[in-house]
Amino acid sequence: DILAGRVDAVQMASILAACKLYRGEVDEVMALHGRVFASGDAVRRIFIHLEARSPIDRFSPYGARVVPIYNYLQAALVLSESGVMRARDIVAVLEAMSQAGYTPERLANSVQDLVRRGVLEVAGALRLAEELGAVESTRGRTVSTFIRRLRSTAADLAHVRRKSPEWLTEINYLGLYHEARFRRQRHRFLGIPLLD
């Protein structure tokens, strides 16, 4: 948002003041802000790699640009849907994740998670299965098993209609900071452990 010119110097200074940064840090951030402000809307997606217990809905106020993921296949699928990655690139991710111990079923569950959250549509999952099937290097057991699981998962989710996250252009960062601070204080007061 700074690069796109949506968070100006006044807003940035307000956010930094609320966060109670040291003066030297504020000066450094503001100098960097001045160098890159409105230099171009270059960021299309921001992927946040979550730990197992992180609440996904914590990121919904940031809109569709921020995508919480549990593994790199999910990032690859979103990039594929956006036209940035091709099917053979997805195959490379699948093979690497298989070597890291991910089963085809677990990988298919990652697709199911994205569909349930509205990040990936069922049609997109089916299209990906067809594209993966057309790639020659999918003869390996992991990828071919994943394709079968992906088709089955997509068929099971055909009835699921989730609204995709909105693309937001105005985000109240200062308000989000205050909400998070209040939530932390309330949890601390009540003795409730935070999950993030």
pLDDT digit string, tens, across residues 76-130? 999 999 999 999 899 999 989 999 999 988 999 999 999 999 999 888 888 888 8
**CB neighbours of 186 closer than 8 A, spacing ≥ 6?**
192
Helix (H, G, I), strand (E, B) or coil at 67: strand
What is d(CA 63, CA 48) in angstroms, rounded to the nearest whole number? 13
DSSP class of residue 194? P
Query: What does the pLDDT read at residue 137?
Result: 60
Residue 137 contacts residue 179 (beta carbons within 8 Å): no
Query: What does the pLDDT read at residue 21?
Result: 93
Residues in the chain: 196
Name the amino acid, one letter, at 174: L
Query: What does the pLDDT read at residue 136?
Result: 61
Please tell me the pTM assigned to this model: 0.83
Of 161, 165, 94, 170, nearest to 132 (Cα)? 94
Residue 69 pairs in a beta bridge with 49
Query: What does the pLDDT read at residue 97?
Result: 93
Query: What does the pLDDT read at residue 196?
Result: 54
If you search the block for the tokens 């992991």, which residue do you land on?
Answer: 142
Structure tokens at 95: 């093979």
3-state helix, strand, coil in the chain (%, to 5): 60, 5, 35
What values do phi and psi take at 110, rounded to 5?
A: -65, -40
Low-confidence stretches of the chain (pLDDT beneath 50): none
